[in-house]
Amino acid sequence: MVNGKVSDLLHFRDSLFFDNDLSFVLICGGACTDWIFTLEPEDHGKILDWFEGKYDSLGFDRETLGNVLRANGELPVHPYGLELRDYMLENFHNVPLKVQHGSQGLNAAIQAAAFGFNVSYGHSISKDNLETLRKKSPASLELMKGIDYEEGNHEPSVTVNIRTNMGNGTTANVYLSDARERNYNAEGVLKHLDDAEERIEKARKQSSGVAILVADLQVMGHSVERDKFSEYLSKMDELLGNISKHTGEEIRMVVDCGGLNAYSDEEIRELFKNIYSHADVLGCNEFEYQSMKKALDREKMCGKTEPSCFVTENGIVNLWIHTRDKQTYFSRRKKKPEKKEIEKIAKALLFSNLTAGLSIEQKDPVTLEDLKGKIDMVKSGKYAFR
């Protein structure tokens, strides 16, 4: 496990993370829009009442939803995401509201472009989401001029993100997603995978190193029939297996476990076998970790409770767990990593924390100049980084 301090970040210019002769390639990604509402705890009752008559079709009851709202959890509410969004827009007029593109992959691509990386996204983005970006984040749309993408006609999925004021300055995040029913871009994703190796090879020739991100796996698992899901897994297994043959410093593959709340245990085990096991770095939050552990426990693959079981028993080299309050990094190595490598990992953790915090503050992608300005404030004591 790696920990770090803000002081470790103050001389960040020597880190490989800031060498702009690197490429960033996304080989899977979704297309959803987040509608973010900030409410008071007493407003939860209105949401619970709205779902009356719908619980049977959703597969959970009022008490379950209430527990999720109180515990800042995640819950699939397909096919009611758009309807819930419209209800909240009509009935919560005076609350702070933010709308952003919800695709982790696209957000990472936009952020990488802001840092000067060569970016290959290659996916289609719905007209609705492009309009959302135009209205709410023109800076993101400007950065996307250098990113390869297509404008698509598919309907975006919607995530209603509820941030609850708790009275002590903190908020709880609840994600109610309709992704399984709304995201009908399956054919586009399968087509995109066909040329992924070609795009990766092009990126390798253009740059000294390539970071590959596999994110938003719900684009398939939440939306397609079983035969298409199997086809997708087969393609991903072959593709990632070929990528994994490239070793050394020139290429790194990161897989994010977004959207596991809508998969069955059997599907999670298939994802682990065909996708997650290929990752140089596997990233997840605490809810996704618990979903994976439960699914693997059923197969007697992981009988321990510590996150390190994934890196010691299930073939994962590096596990990166990110929660609302902290990040933790586990690694499976034959020998203890050198001090310089540990310092780089600590910088990466602190760098991502600071970038995420700044992106929330300014509601737009974070540039290197933004980071430099904030770090100068940290050094002068004018900014409290927590």
H, E, C per residue of the chain: CCCCCHHHHCCHHHCHHHCCCEEEEEEECCCEEEEEEEECHHHHHHHHHHCCCCHHHHCCCHHHHHHHHHCCCEEECCCCHHHHHHHHHHHCCCCCEEEEECCHHHHHHHHHHHCCCEEECCCEEEHHHHHHHHHHCHHHHHHHHHCCCEEECCCCEEEEEEEEECCCCCEEEEEEECHHHHCCCHHHHHHHHHCHHHHHHHHHHHCCEEEEEECCCHHHHCCCCHHHHHHHHHHHHHHHHHHHCCCCCCEEEEEECCCHHHCCHHHHHHHHHHCHHHCCEEEECHHHHHHHHHHHHHCCCCCCCCCHHHHHHCCCCEEEEECCCCEEEEECCCCCCCHHHHHHHHHHHHHHHHHHHHHHHHCCCCCHHHHHHHHHHHHHCCCCCC
The model carries a pTM of 0.75
Q: Is 43 inside a domain boundary? A: no
Q: Which amino acid is at 337?
A: P
Identify the pLDDT of residue 61. 94
Q: What is the rounded average pLDDT of the residues 361-375?
A: 80
Domain encompassing residue 208 = 6-33+103-156+180-380
Whether 263 is covered by a domain: the verdict is yes
Structural tokens at position 208: 């000294």
Least confident stretch, 194-208, 236-250, 272-286: 236-250
Q: Which of 222-226, 278-282, 339-343 has the highest mean predicted lDDT (pLDDT)?
A: 278-282
> The domain that contains 361 carries what CATH number?
3.40.1190.20
Structural domain contains residue 68: no
pLDDT in tens, 123-159: 677 787 788 778 777 888 888 887 877 787 766 667 7
**Above 50 in pLDDT, residue 14?**
no
Does some domain include residue 169?
no
Report in angstroms the alpha-carbon separations of 152 from 70, 77, 104, 219: 37, 24, 18, 14
Q: Which residue has the higher pLDDT, 109 or 184?
A: 109
In the chain, the percentage of residues whose pLDDT exceeds 90 is: 5
Q: How confident is the model over 162-197, as pLDDT tens digits?
A: 777 665 555 667 778 775 544 455 676 777 788 888
The overall average pLDDT reported for the chain is 76
Q: How confident is the model at residue 19 (pLDDT cuts 50, 70, 90)?
A: low
Q: How many domains does the chain have?
A: 1
Residue 76 covered by a domain: no
Q: At 3, is the pLDDT very low, low, confident or very high (cuts 50, 70, 90)?
A: very low
Which of the four pLDDT bands, split at 50, 70 and 90, describes residue 103? Answer: low
**β-strand pairing of 171-177 with 22-28:** unpaired
| Residue 79 is assigned to a structural domain of this protein | no
Inside any domain, residue 55:
no
User: Which amino acid makes up residue 70?
Assistant: R
Please report the pLDDT score of residue 100 as a whole number: 62
Determine the pLDDT at residue 48. Answer: 94
In a domain, 110, yes or no: yes
pLDDT in tens, 45-65: 999 999 999 999 988 999 999
Alpha-carbon distance 222 to 239, whole Å?
Answer: 21
